[in-house]
Structure 1
Amino acid sequence: MERYEQIYINNYKMFSLLERAAWASTFLLLDRFDENELKSTLMNSVIDNVVTYHDYLWQKYSHLSKKFHLNIEEKTKLELEKTAFFPEANMKISLILSFIYNSELLLEILTDTFHSQLQGMVILTIELLKVLLRLRLLWINGGGIVARDKIPSRDKNLDKKENENEVDQLEEMNNQHYADGRKKRPNLLLLLRSLKKSKEMITERDINHSTAPDFYIILGELLWIFKPLIYLYQLHKHGKDSWTPWLMALLVELCRMGCIHKKKLNLIEKKEVNQRNIAVLLFVLRSPFYETLTNSALTNYMGNKLNVQGLSALMNMVTKLINIYRKRYFNIAGSK
């Protein structure tokens, strides 16, 4: 594996191109939401896991320049620096969680031939495993917000590096002089771009400085961690056509939001909380809310608006895709 790591780091641009080409190939399956659902999901899962592993490698070697060849001294230095951005205690757990997120939908589809109760046990096992790993992260973080349960994308680190290079380029131009001693003026466009980028640049403390945990933050995290189990228990007890599971899950979400309301969070924690809040929108696709309100609203909109505009066929296709999408638990669970 160390050999592969070296090959990847030294050729990461080529690997990035291959990843993009692989992603593009998935769109060749035009019926990927229907007949080719299993094949498409398998391809997406494999690609996601490979990309995640490459993101993991990038985090380990994030302090090295884009073009380098390791020698013994550099490798020794690397071992000391590679966890500065992403603590080693979190990395392996986050990698396992990321692999689970990338594979859970595939496992659900593979168990379609099982009895419904057996498929439910598979889903419950996956959610239990995620709960245990998140509790471990919560313990490692000292009760702080679990904002690192997924390996972050390396693209943002590359963007940050490019921003820093632009600022360095501006400083270099400011120090240049003509032959007669007159100072050169920097390019105005580069100056404006660099000033904008420098304002957007954030310090490592802004990223990594965790919010001091208190009772409400810990309670909010526990509610978020156990939310899938609460929802699955209510589904098992009352069935998906009952309003009880839907209302209980929504109540848990509202309590979680209340626990962290007006808390001062760092940048990564804010992003994590925003993603969780956006995931609440998936409630409109859950039963029985979808059958009672969402579907009727879409039908009325198509009848009153889209027939005049000749777009009813398009809306019918969208509705069909929504119905296919929402039949999968992990598509609308919001438990990632």
Structure 2
Amino acid sequence: MEAYKRWVRRNKEYLHSIESLANGLTWLLPERFAESEIIPEAVTSILGIMTTVNGHIIETTPSNAHVKPQECSSFPYSLCLTLMKDVETLVEVIAEQFYGDDNKWNFIAVTEAAKVLARLALLRNSGYKMLLQGGETINDGKDPNDANQPQTHIRLSQKWQDGNFTLEGRALSALSMFGENARMISNPTWVHSAEHHQRATVELPETDIKRPTLLSILTEKGLTGGLMLTGEVMFIARPLVYVLLIRKYGPRSWLPWFISLTIDLIGMSSSTMSLIGHKDRRLRLSDPEKDELRRRKLWLAFYLMRDPCFGKYTRQRLESAEKTLEHVPVVGFFAAKLIELLVGAQTRYTYMSGS
């Protein structure tokens, strides 16, 4: 493994080109593979795992200035979360094909439970900071738009756009771009915040940096800290609660949909309320955390693509829009294709889970 790590770090540019080529070639696979979703999803998962692992090896190179000793030695929860997302759709497809539509929810629930445990552990290890990109991006207080910072979230999003080649998977390009648009361009003052953070990191010895505990947060920040923590816990637990309710009441029931939406709204309200009217600098969000809140708010639109709302309302609106635009040259063609892909993607829980 050490020999492989050295090879990856020496040939990272070459390896990146190979990964991009492999993802592009998936679009050229024979159409007969479309008869079984397992094969294309398996190829996508394997490519995603390879890209993720190689990226992690490069990002944790000891000579990299942004890698801290404790990050190299601690358990890589962010890596595990990304790997679970790489295989979750494959798990859903295999479970559905071999165990049926009803029993597949048992496997999806196990996957969501594993992600909940990993995110709770990551939340604790990070000093109860807000999770970025569901925990896949480390919240170190630095702006990810900085050219000097590792572009983890960009690389991870790119594999979704290049790697999926099933009918449902092609819709993820639009959905991924929709999620990424939540990361709006921040005010240029982030430069000063990043420089201040870097100076503070250099000036303070590693032994002087104490990781906040749950008790210290509740003691020092009181109700504000409790609200922020409540928002994070509800964000983490919501997907598991949603799946367990679907497992019990079925995907056509409104109860799981309403409860999941309620948890999301309460969680985001708690996070927002904890920031209103407070001038304490310790309670201010960094630019990446502000972008994360925007992303979570925009992802509420996924509720329009989840049953039973999709079957009763959204699908009719999409079909009506398709009929309206079908006579418009070029626009009608692309609108029909986009709607077809969105309808296909809606059939997979993992594509619309927002987790």
| CA displacement at 1:287 relative to structure 2 | 0.7
CA distance in 1, matches of 2:299, 2:32: 23
Matching residue's letter, 2:197: R
| CA displacement at 1:202 relative to structure 2 | 3.6
Pairing 1:296–2:307 present: no
CA distance in 2, matches of 1:278, 1:332: 13
Kept after mapping to 2: 8 A contact 1:104/1:330: yes
Kept after mapping to 2: 8 A contact 1:134/1:225: yes
Which residue in the other structure is 1:44 paired with? Answer: 44
Matching residue's letter, 1:248: I
| CA displacement at 1:55 relative to structure 2 | 1.9
| Root-mean-square deviation (Å) | 3.5
Kept after mapping to 1: 8 A contact 2:60/2:67: yes
Pairing 1:160–2:180 present: no
CA distance in 1, matches of 2:27, 2:192: 34
Which residue in the other structure is 1:95 paired with? Answer: 79
% identical aligned pairs:
22
Which residue in the other structure is 1:4 paired with? Answer: 4
Kept after mapping to 2: 8 A contact 1:41/1:106: yes
Kept after mapping to 1: 8 A contact 2:325/2:335: no
**Alignment deviations for residues 184-204 of structure 1 (CA, whole Å, 9 cap, x no partner):** xxxxxxxxxxxx9x9599438
State how many pairs are aligned.
283
TM-score (norm 2): 0.69
Indicate the structure (1 or 2) with the bigger Cα radius of gyration.
Answer: 1
Structure 1 residues 204, 235: closer, same or farther in 2, change over 3 A?
farther
Matching residue's letter, 1:160: N
Matching residue's letter, 2:89: L
Pairing 1:108–2:89 present: no
Which residue in the other structure is 1:232 paired with? Answer: 243
| CA displacement at 1:248 relative to structure 2 | 1.2
Which residue in the other structure is 2:154 paired with? Answer: none
Pairing 1:26–2:18 present: no
CA distance in 2, matches of 1:310, 1:5: 48
Structure 1 residues 201, 40: closer, same or farther in 2, change over 3 A?
farther
CA distance in 2, matches of 1:20, 1:228: 31
Which contiguous aligned blocks of 4+ residues in structure 1 show a shift greater than 6 angstroms?
A: 206-213
TM-score (norm 1): 0.72
Kept after mapping to 1: 8 A contact 2:322/2:339: no
Which residue in the other structure is 1:332 paired with? Answer: 352
Structure 2 unaligned residues grouped into runs of 5+: 139-143, 151-187, 202-208, 276-283
CA distance in 2, matches of 1:253, 1:266: 21
Matching residue's letter, 2:260: A
**Alignment deviations for residues 22-48 of structure 1 (CA, whole Å, 9 cap, x no partner):** 111122248599436322222221111
Which residue in the other structure is 1:283 paired with? Answer: 303
**Alignment deviations for residues 229-287 of structure 1 (CA, whole Å, 9 cap, x no partner):** 22123223332222221111111111111111163212333343333333222111101
Give the structure, 1 or 2, with the largest relative contact order (CA under 8 Å, sep 6 or more): 2
